[in-house]
Amino acid sequence: MHGWRARIAIIIAHSNTTIEPEFNRLAPAGVSIHASRVPVGPISAQGLATDNRYIDSAAKLLSDLNARVIAYACNAANVVAGQDAELAQAKRISRIARAPAVTASAALLEALTALKVRRVAFATPYPPDLSESNHAYWTACGIEVLRTGGVNLGGSREPVEPLSSAPISKVGIQAPEMAYNLARSAFDERAEAVAVIGCNLRTIEVAARFEADFGVPFLSSNLALFWAALQVAGVSEPVTGYGTLLERRPQLGWMRIPRFQRSPTDIK
């Protein structure tokens, strides 16, 4: 049976081509990944106002999986909505899906807290308005944002052969070296960690390499979300080769993740 240790369910943007391969690559034996998609507009503060009905529908579709955790993988939407709306959304997803729910931004905050990190250099593939929202979000969380570096890959889609009739996000077609270069451009000697934002950006393959080169933890939306999902699911073994967070497996503080108590009727 797939997921005999834990099933991790994820709600992802319709154009995301990265998080499923990354989660499946990271998953320990007995952990399975199951996704549901929602439509998302262009990568901008205005375009990311996803209708909650789509998210509710995705959560409902995942509710029969008996998943140990639901991960909502749209970091940009989180920072645009703000902490209060993000927490309310996680609670709603949890209620509908009958499982604990964690958002990408909450997972990253939990990871920074678990690693005792406060001074962070951020890198994003976002346009300026969304990078500003990202800066404001993390400042409100009590994080000292030393720098926000990046490149604007937002607001556009481009066709990719052989799927020329099915355009996908420019973020999703970038090689992992893009994440390394983004992190390098954002790096600050005062930083206690570097965080690369974006659930559609390939990051896991360069995490260990960046840490070896710069001597600080390399975090990303997907690494943090997967770490938090494993913690919530009760799978505690280290995942080696992908950086400090998954190798050390620091304990989750449950600061921004709503707890969920399963009832006997939820166990199938």
Question: 31 and 54: one domain?
Answer: yes
Local structure of 210: helix, strand or coil: helix
Residues 90 and 54 in one domain: yes
Residue 151: predicted pLDDT: 59
What is the pLDDT, as a whole number, of residue 167? Answer: 41
Please, are residues 217 and 240 in contact by the beta-carbon 8 Å criterion? no
pLDDT (average), residues 152-157: 48
Same domain, 118 and 20: no
Mark whether 25 and 96 lie in a shared domain: yes
Residue 20 parent element (H or E): helix 19-26
Distance (Å, whole) CA 163 – CA 49: 27
Number of independent structural domains in the chain: 2
Torsion angle defined by CA atoms of residues 12, 17, 18 and 23, in that order, rounded to the nearest 10 degrees: 60
**pLDDT at site 152:** 53
What is the model's pLDDT at position 261?
60
Could you tell me if 11 and 104 lie in one domain?
yes
Q: Are residues 104 and 233 in the same domain?
A: yes
Answer whether residue 162 shows pLDDT above 80: no
The pLDDT, as a whole number, for residue 230 is 96
Measured CA to CA, the distance from residue 109 to residue 90 in angstroms comes to 14
Of the two residues 103 and 159, the one the predictor is more confident about is 103
Residues 128 and 169 in one domain: yes
136 within a domain of the structure (yes/no): yes
pLDDT score for 133 = 84
Q: Is residue 1 part of a domain?
A: no
Tell me the average pLDDT across 138-155: 79
Q: Are residues 79 and 96 in the same domain?
A: yes
Q: Are residues 22 and 102 in the same domain?
A: yes
Render pLDDT for 202-217 as a digit per residue (tens, 0 to 9): 999 999 999 999 999 9
Model confidence at 189: pLDDT above 60: yes
Domain that holds residue 227: 6-108+223-266
Confidence class of residue 259 from pLDDT cuts 50, 70 and 90? Answer: low
pLDDT for 264: 43
Cα–Cα distance list, 91 to 85, 86, 155, 257, 267 (Å): 10, 9, 29, 8, 19
Q: Are both 18 and 121 inside the same structural domain?
A: no
Do 55 and 32 belong to one domain? Answer: yes
Give the confidence band of 126 by pLDDT, cuts at 50, 70, 90.
confident
Does residue 101 sit in the same domain as residue 53?
yes
- Please report whether residue 126 resides in a domain: yes
CB 231 within 8 A of CB 190: no
